[in-house]
């Protein structure tokens, strides 16, 4: 059976507590993740064949990580072993993180040190039906952006479906190019775009919509998404699907829904609300995995966005980077959070 291939940087997320007690306690939680790996992990859990391509150093720590991923049924046979660093970032864990910020420590990582000859995409794309990456990859440096362009070229020539998550990270894009100078070219071959109306507009150089109230109606949000989607479908004819998530902080809680569109149709997911959550990291990746799962299962547009939104919302209550819930558990667990 053909696989989904996810390409991106594996990261270690290190979580000091907000109060600073880790100093006296001599411990911090550490999670293995990264946007594309989180997608791969979810798909593997949901019994979809998946491969992961990245770069890690040739040391015992990286080997332990690879062995763990392979135990999850993720094909890691094409991970490049080079360099000497695994990318890391520091982010406190908790429900009230508005006064904290992410600290990246990923410069000169094995992935960032890949060169344009490191990967043989023609070989990597054998027995692959979907290629997935995110905008975090080309945000690292110009070489990784070129590698992404190579991958898209080979995927297109092989007739492989391409999905792209418009993750925007303000602390990346530090190599002299803006997202709008890089991403439109990469997006030309993409078939499925996922993001939100603000990150997507920033990536493609469109006018960025004004922030909206956390009480905005679904209908108003849908119109904002529809306006943006129409422009994307016109400018990027290879694109056949666009998903936008709407996640609003409400006190210590959160309100969530999503839209999903083709050139002919746009639908909205169910809405969810929770008074408090546990961990925001990886929720968007879980949504992306849900979209791909819906495609692979040949769900309708409505069923796909409903499942993806449910998967993303359920991830907010899991203190790790990727989901550990099966589809059945996901759909049952979010029912109590549904809003009309």
Domain boundaries, the chain: 3-339
Residue 330's SS3 state is helix
User: Which residue has 């410069």 as its token pair?
Assistant: 107
User: What tokens does 169 get?
Assistant: 């990270």
Parallel, antiparallel or unpaired: strands 253-261 and 266-268: antiparallel
Q: Determine the Cα–Cα distance for residues 99 and 81; give it in Å rounded to an integer.
A: 37
Which residues are paired to 273 by β-bridges?
A: 255
- pLDDT above 70 (res 100): no
Is the separation of the CB atoms in 4 and 130 below 8 Å?
yes
The residue count of the chain comes to 340
Q: Do residues 28 and 22 touch, judged by C-beta distance below 8 A?
A: yes
Residue 150 confidence (pLDDT) above 80: yes
pLDDT of residue 223: 93
Q: What are the CA-CA distances from residue 77 to residues 44, 70, 112, 126, 129 (Å)?
A: 15, 9, 19, 13, 17
Average pLDDT on 245-272 reads 93
Rounded mean pLDDT of 253-279? 94
Q: Which residues contact 204 (CB under 8 A, 6 or more apart)?
A: 180, 183, 184, 187, 232, 235
The helix (H) or strand (E) run that includes residue 227 is helix 218-235
The set of residues, in sequence order, having a beta carbon less than 8 Å from that of 6 and lying 6+ positions away, is: 36, 37, 39, 40, 43, 50, 51, 52, 53, 132, 133
| pLDDT of amino acid 90 | 94
% residues pLDDT > 70 (the chain): 97
The CA R_g of the chain, rounded to the nearest whole Å, is 19
CA distance 315 to 283: 5
- pLDDT band of 212, cuts 50, 70, 90: confident
Collapsed DSSP state (helix, strand, coil) of residue 295: helix
The residue-averaged pLDDT of 148-176 equals 96
C-beta separation of 319 from 279 below 8 A: yes
For the ranges 13-22, 92-101, 291-300, the maximum mean pLDDT occurs at 291-300
Lowest-confidence pick of 208-222, 239-253, 279-293: 208-222
The CATH homologous superfamily of the domain defined by 3-339 = Ribokinase (3.40.1190.20)
Residue 127's alpha-carbon distances to 50, 118, 120, 164, 262, in angstroms, are: 11, 20, 14, 20, 27
Q: In whole angstroms, what is the distance from residue 269 CA to residue 310 CA?
A: 9
Residues 6+ apart with CB under 8 A from 208: 198, 201, 202
Share above pLDDT 90 across residues of the chain, in percent, rounded to a whole number:
86
pLDDT digits (tens, 9 = 90+) for 224-238: 999 999 999 999 999
- pLDDT of 99 > 60? The answer is no
* Average pLDDT, integer, range 46-52: 99
Quote the pLDDT of residue 249: 81
Average per-residue pLDDT in the chain? 95
Q: Within a 13 Å sphere around the CA of 246, how many CA atoms are in the beta-carbon half?
A: 27
Tell me the C-alpha distance between 28 and 314, whole Å.
24
pLDDT digits 0-9 by tens, 81-96: 999 999 999 998 764 4
> What gap in Å lies between CA 185 and CA 203, rounded to an integer?
11
DSSP, res 97: -
Task: Find residue 194's DSSP bridge partners.
Answer: 165, 243
Average pLDDT over residues 239-245: 98
Query: 107 is written with which tokens?
Result: 């410069």
Amino acid 206: pLDDT: 95
Considering Cα of 199, then 99, then 309, then 316, what sign does the dihedral take? Answer: positive
């Amino acid at each position: 059976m053909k696989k989904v291939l996810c390409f991106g940087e594996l990261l270690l997320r290190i979580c000091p507590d907000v109060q600073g007690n880790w100093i006296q306690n001599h411990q911090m939680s550490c999670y293995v993740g990264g946007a594309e790996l989180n997608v791969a992990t979810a798909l593997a859990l949901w019994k979809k064949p998946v491969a992961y391509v990245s770069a890690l150093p040739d040391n015992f720590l990286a080997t332990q990580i690879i062995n763990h991923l392979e135990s999850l049924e993720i094909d890691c046979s094409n991970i490049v072993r080079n360099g000497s660093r695994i990318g890391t970032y520091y982010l406190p864990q908790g429900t009230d993180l508005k006064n904290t910020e992410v600290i990246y420590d990923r410069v000169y990582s094995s992935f960032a040190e890949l060169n344009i000859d490191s990967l043989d995409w023609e070989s990597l794309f054998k027995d692959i039906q979907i290629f997935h990456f995110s905008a975090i990859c080309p945000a690292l440096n110009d070489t990784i952006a070129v590698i992404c362009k190579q991958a898209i070229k080979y995927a297109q020539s092989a007739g492989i479906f391409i999905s792209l998550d418009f993750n925007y990270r303000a602390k990346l894009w530090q190599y002299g190019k803006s997202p709008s100078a890089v991403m439109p070219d990469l997006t030309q071959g993409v078939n499925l775009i996922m993001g939100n109306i603000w990150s997507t507009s920033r990536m493609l150089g469109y006018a960025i919509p004004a922030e909206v109230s956390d009480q905005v109606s679904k209908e108003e949000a849908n119109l904002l998404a529809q306006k943006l989607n129409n422009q994307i479908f016109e400018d990027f004819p290879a694109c056949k699907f666009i998903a936008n998530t709407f996640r609003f902080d409400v006190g210590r809680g959160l309100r969530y829904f999503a839209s999903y569109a083709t050139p002919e149709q746009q639908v909205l997911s169910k809405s969810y609300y929770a008074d408090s959550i546990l961990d925001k990291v990886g929720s968007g990746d879980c949504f992306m995995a849900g979209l791909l799962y819906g495609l692979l299962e040949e769900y309708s547009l409505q069923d796909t966005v409903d499942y993806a939104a449910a998967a993303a919302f359920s991830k907010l209550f899991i203190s790790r980077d990727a989901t550990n819930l099966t589809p059945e558990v996901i759909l049952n667990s979010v029912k109590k959070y549904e809003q009309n």
